[in-house]
Amino acid sequence: MYYGIIGGTGFEAPFSSAEEKIMETPYGETKLLFPEGKPYVFVSRHGTDHTIPPHQVPYRANIWTLRELGVTEVYGISAVGSLKKEYGPDTVLLCDDFLDFTKSRPTTFYDGDHEPAKHIAMDAPYDATLNRDFEAAFGEPLPRGVYVSTEGPRFESRAEIKFYASIGGDVVGMTNVPEVVLARELGLHYANICHVVNYCTGVSEEMVISKSEGVRARILKAIDQVLSSERSPRKPRIDLL
């Protein structure tokens, strides 16, 4: 059994020497990286050469592939902008909810074409156990927050950022929806770790952009510690209505 890691910008490099495989799915291809001697597989959202923009990531293919491999637990990692001054660059935040402002991407397997229409409960999209295990391995208390998912690839306007903050958002990114939704539809236990790389437009006068390899390395080290430990297999969690 494999665990899964789905990473974005800056998280592919440590896996450059891993074995690559391509898997075909009803939703397109997924490129997988299998690090030697590890119990997990890595999926790069934007491709290892970073040519896939956020709105064209093969989200359904990626999640479908992980399920086909027998994966039941997945860590996503996202580079995000902060909506709050207290979450400055290099803050690590764990998602506990999301707001979806994507527009054109497929967001479900149950579209009536591949699968009959069904409804998935979304009261707890992120797995509390994976969050707690990561926090313990990271070695310090971590904030929980609401991920605002936008369409991209453009950045958000000042008015949009002000609005997202006013309705309860904490960080902004372009990839966690539909990833988290699709993972939940297929019963995967999923958590998303956010690495704040900058303040969003208008949040702060400071134009600070994180280039910290150290924080990225700590995130991957903590995930590796969790997934490489002795763990009892978890059955898929299905909340179809």
User: What confidence tens digit (pLDDT) does each residue in 15-29 have?
Assistant: 777 899 999 999 999
pLDDT at 114: 66
Residue 10 tokens, joined: 């800056």
pLDDT at 48: 67
Q: How far apart are CA 58 and CA 157, in angstroms?
A: 26
Q: How far apart are CA 44 and CA 10, in angstroms?
A: 10
Asked if pLDDT for residue 76 goes beyond 80, the answer is yes
Residue matched to tokens 């994180």: 210
Eight-class DSSP state of 240: B
Interior/surface letters 49-67, b for 16+ CB within 10 angstroms, e for the rest: eeeeebeebbbbbbbbbbb
- Is the Cβ–Cβ distance between 137 and 225 less than 8 Å? yes
Q: How far apart are CA 110 and CA 112, in angstroms?
A: 6
128-132, long-range: CB < 8 A, 24+ apart: 129/189, 130/73, 130/75, 130/189, 130/190, 130/191, 130/226, 131/94, 131/96, 131/191
pLDDT digits (tens, 9 = 90+) for 151-201: 999 999 999 999 999 999 999 999 999 999 999 999 999 999 999 999 999
Asked if pLDDT for residue 211 goes beyond 70, the answer is no
**Interaxial angle between packed helices 128-138 and 213-228, expressed in degrees from 0 to 180 and rounded to the nearest 10:** 120
Half-sphere exposure of 204 (CA within 13 A, CB side): 16
Q: How far apart are CA 214 and CA 142, in angstroms?
A: 17
Residue matched to tokens 């909340």: 239
- Say which range, 139-143, 157-161, 207-211, 227-231, has the weakest mean pLDDT: 207-211
Average pLDDT over residues 123-145: 97
